[in-house]
């Protein structure tokens, strides 16, 4: 049952983390099986005249789990400064969209209805991403002088839109 413990722990960590480390945890169960098989064959290769292993022992799975726990710590240390939040990732995706299709204004609803932006239907997630872009000076709220529900329009910083060809 060593593998089941590794799998359950990895899946829980994958659900509760995000970014690069979440991907690491999601792949840990398969990684543990591969390492356990390698360890099983290394033990067999070092033995004198033992028959080739027919299965992976729980001891090899446990060794793989110990090694992966060590590797996880080292991985977390090495990427600690590299990981970006979901909010930053979403803001970067919107920023790439702004740069690819220069427009003076962007509407939240139209954006999340665009292919590749369905995850922004989550209003809290969308709010966080747009707030990040506003803090960085990419966008600012458009005036909301109309009656009824606000349209969630944002003005794009004019410095980000290319200057049209002006004839002299």
pLDDT of residue 86: 83
Reply yes or no on whether the pLDDT at 165 is more than 50. no
Adjacent-strand bridge partners of 152: none
Q: What is the DSSP letter of 71?
A: H
pLDDT of residue 145: 64
The structural architecture, per CATH, of the domain 86-160 is Orthogonal Bundle (1.10)
DSSP letters along the chain, please?
-HHHHHHHHHHHHHHH--THHHHHHHHHHHHHHHHHHHHHHHHHHHSSSPPPPSS--HHHHHHHHHHHHHHHHHHHHHHTTT---HHHHHHHHHHHHHHHS--SEEEHHHHHTSTT-GGGGSHHHHHHHHHHHHHTTSEEEPP--SSSS---EEEEPGGGSPPPP---
Q: pLDDT tens for residues 34-73?
A: 999 999 999 999 998 899 999 999 999 999 999 999 999 9
Reply yes or no on whether the pLDDT at 166 is more than 70. no
Average pLDDT over residues 98-120: 89
Measured at the CA of 158, the angle between CA 117 and CA 132, to 5 degrees, comes to 45
Cβ atoms of 136 and 118 closer than 8 Å: no
**What residue ranges do the domains of the chain occupy?**
2-79, 86-160
**What span, in angstroms and rounded, lies between the C-alpha atoms of 70 and 74?**
6
């Amino acid at each position: 049952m060593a593998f089941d413990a590794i799998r359950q722990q990895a899946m829980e960590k994958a659900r509760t983390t995000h970014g690069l480390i979440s991907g690491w945890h999601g792949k840990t169960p398969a990684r543990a099986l591969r390492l356990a098989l390698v360890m099983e064959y290394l033990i067999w290769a070092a033995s004198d005249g033992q028959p080739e292993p027919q299965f992976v022992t729980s001891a090899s799975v446990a060794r793989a789990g110990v090694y992966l726990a060590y590797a996880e710590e080292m991985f977390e240390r090495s990427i600690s400064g590299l990981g970006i939040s979901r909010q930053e990732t979403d803001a970067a995706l919107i920023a790439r969209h702004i740069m690819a299709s220069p427009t003076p204004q962007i509407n939240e609803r139209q954006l999340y209805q665009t292919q590749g932006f369905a995850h922004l239907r989550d209003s809290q997630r969308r709010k966080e991403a747009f707030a990040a872009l506003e803090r960085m000076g990419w966008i600012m709220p458009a005036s909301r002088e109309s009656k009824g529900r606000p349209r969630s329009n944002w003005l794009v910083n004019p410095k980000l839109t290319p200057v049209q060809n002006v004839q002299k």
